[in-house]
Amino acid sequence: MRYSRGQAIFVLNSILSVLFTFQSLTAQVPNIVLLMGDDHGWEETGYNAHPHVKTPVLDEMAASGLRFDNFYAGHPSCSPTRASFLTGRHPNRMGTFAPGWSMRPEEITCASILGRAGYRCGHFGKWHVGAVKSASPLNPGAMGFVEWLSHDNFFELNPSFSRNGGEPQRFEGESSEILIREAIRFIDSAHRSNVPFFTIVWFGSPHEPYSGLPSDLALYDELPVKYRDKQVSLTSNETGLKTTRLQGEVLRERYAEITAMDRAIGTLRTHLAESGLRDNTLLFYCGDNGTSADGSLVQRHRGVKGQVYDGGILVPGLIEWPARIPAPRSTKIRASTSDLLPTLCGLLGQSLPDRPIDGMDLTPLLHGSELVRSKPLYFWSFQNSGGTNQVPYVDPEMQKGTTPLVKLAGGKPTRDFKNFRHPSIVEADYLGPRAIIDGQFKLVIHDRNESDPIQELFDLEADPFERNNLIEQYSQQASLLQRQLRDWQSSVLTSLTGADY
């Protein structure tokens, strides 16, 4: 087809207009990289004064960016926290009750929102909110990511990953290094295309069973002798079954994994700087729950993974974004993984999904403004056995995992998922360990049964390690928090019935 001079000028101007729009987009909005460790609790960083573990890169991030001194995982275990990370909603709203429980296909993720806003979205590493294979309605692609190299669960050295839903492939090397290498490739591709990138990297470290490179293990050679009087339970790398080992040997391997993950994050930071991307890239790191019992050594905070005390839910929380956070800052505000989606929406001027959102927009903190938390933080481990009479929400065939791992489950070296329909609510659905933090007070409730709750009230400002139960002295405050928690549970259970979709 031949164009007249006027038509040619019009076409050229149209092309230039499109290019200018993309250039304006990439100049105005930040690139975003969200990183998360697996079972990495608050205390296991150098900047939080751990006596052994070496995290020089996270320490540098804490010294140069925005450090959250009170950042919480959305749940004391991994799959539920990941659901909150992606959706801004408590995982019980979508039936993601515990590890191995999937999300629901109707959930709206931050990747879906950012993809519509012009971002190229990629996921790398642990997924664990549904199967990653191509047939799954819950794989990263179905949840808004255009590219993914992912695992159904966790992984060690020489891991296997599924690329974009394909058959698992084995990758030789240290898993955190592999993931960062893949993420950098994705970032560079988006940068060459002049498109902003949204990249999630969910590491497999330091989840047990542990394995480390010789050079990283050597950093902790003194620990087997120093901590040789206690046995801990974990998975055997040889059999995939439970075993017991000396704590010092276990800590040596666990800390080697943390150090390797830390070094991989440093590789990413260096690449962003050398590529001219660091200033306008929001780089975030957190853990997905508190330290696991086998790795727990420094117990300033009460509890471990799986518990709603702060030791089970308090994790590292760091943000670097030199263009917006040019000087180091720290904040005492209590924030959580549920805040990520509303914060990204606030940052980019995107509307929140039209359904209950449990997190809140933290963008004033990024701008350097004061912020008072207007929403309480809620934690709840739902008691659901997944009995035989329940109707699957997703075809069980679509929930079967494919990526192999060491730890066996029902004799299988992979992970399958489940999620059930919950059309009606009964009183027993309100049970399960749960907590609310509103202001300085935290109420914790454990139920032996419906008529015998154990309640504890803590003043987290005066008693951050939850040693002193104030339930008798502040009974009126406890009653108020109890009512707030109950009302919130009712909202969550309404969502669980499917009413939000």
Domain boundary among 376, 409, 435: 376
How much of the chain is in helix, strand and coil states, percent to nearest 5? 35, 20, 50
Does residue 265 fall inside a structural domain?
yes
62-71, 180-189, 360-369, 384-393: segment of lowest average pLDDT: 384-393
61-70, 291-300, 408-417, 444-453: segment of lowest average pLDDT: 444-453
The reply to whether 349 and 440 lie within a common domain is no
Does residue 189 fall inside a structural domain?
yes
The reply to whether 317 and 463 lie within a common domain is no
Overall pTM > 0.85: yes
Does residue 416 fall inside a structural domain?
no
Give residues with Cβ within 8 angstroms of 407, minimum separation 6: 154, 208, 209, 235, 240, 413
The reply to whether 363 and 431 lie within a common domain is no
∠ at Cα 333 (327, 338), nearest 5°? Answer: 105
The reply to whether 320 and 447 lie within a common domain is no
Does residue 405 fall inside a structural domain?
no
The reply to whether 366 and 426 lie within a common domain is no
The reply to whether 358 and 441 lie within a common domain is no
The reply to whether 342 and 446 lie within a common domain is no
The CATH number of residue 341's host domain is: 3.40.720.10
Contact criterion met (CB below 8 Å) for 343 and 359: yes
- Using pLDDT thresholds of 50, 70 and 90, give the confidence band for residue 453: confident
194-237: pLDDT as tens digits: 999 999 999 999 999 999 999 999 999 999 999 999 999 999 99
Query: What is the per-residue pLDDT for 298?
Result: 82
Rounded-to-integer distance, Cα 280 and Cα 191, Å: 12
Does residue 221 fall inside a structural domain?
no
The reply to whether 367 and 431 lie within a common domain is no
Place of tokens 């949840």: 143
The reply to whether 81 and 185 lie within a common domain is yes
∠ at Cα 402 (396, 403), nearest 5°? Answer: 140
- Using pLDDT thresholds of 50, 70 and 90, give the confidence band for residue 389: confident
Query: What is the per-residue pLDDT for 15?
Result: 40
Does residue 391 fall inside a structural domain?
no
The CATH number of residue 472's host domain is: 3.30.1120.10
Query: What is the per-residue pLDDT for 27?
Result: 52
Structure tokens belonging to residue 54: 């070496």
138-178: pLDDT as tens digits: 999 999 999 999 999 999 999 999 999 999 999 999 999 99
Query: What is the per-residue pLDDT for 10?
Result: 40
Rounded-to-integer distance, Cα 403 and Cα 379, Å: 30
The reply to whether 277 and 156 lie within a common domain is yes
15-19, 99-103, 318-322, 464-468: segment of lowest average pLDDT: 15-19
∠ at Cα 198 (194, 203), nearest 5°? Answer: 135
329-380: pLDDT as tens digits: 999 999 999 999 999 999 999 999 999 999 999 999 999 998 999 999 999 9
Query: What is the per-residue pLDDT for 16?
Result: 37
Query: What is the per-residue pLDDT for 385?
Result: 66
DSSP bridge partners of 335: 71
Place of tokens 């199967």: 131
Does residue 117 fall inside a structural domain?
yes
Place of tokens 């056995």: 385
3-state secondary structure 226-252: HCCCCEEEEECCCCCCEEEEEHHHHHH
Q: Is 76 exposed, middle or buried (0-12, 13-18, 19+ CB in 10 A)?
A: buried
User: Which range marks the domain in which residue 39 is found?
Assistant: 30-209+253-376
Does residue 466 fall inside a structural domain?
yes
The reply to whether 332 and 435 lie within a common domain is no
Query: What is the per-residue pLDDT for 210?
Result: 97
Query: What is the per-residue pLDDT for 18?
Result: 36
Query: What is the per-residue pLDDT for 318?
Result: 98
Q: Is 49 exposed, middle or buried (0-12, 13-18, 19+ CB in 10 A)?
A: exposed
The reply to whether 483 and 358 lie within a common domain is no
Strands 120-126 and 147-151: parallel
Query: What is the per-residue pLDDT for 347?
Result: 97
- Using pLDDT thresholds of 50, 70 and 90, give the confidence band for residue 13: very low
What is the number of domains present in the chain?
2
Mean pLDDT score of the chain: 94
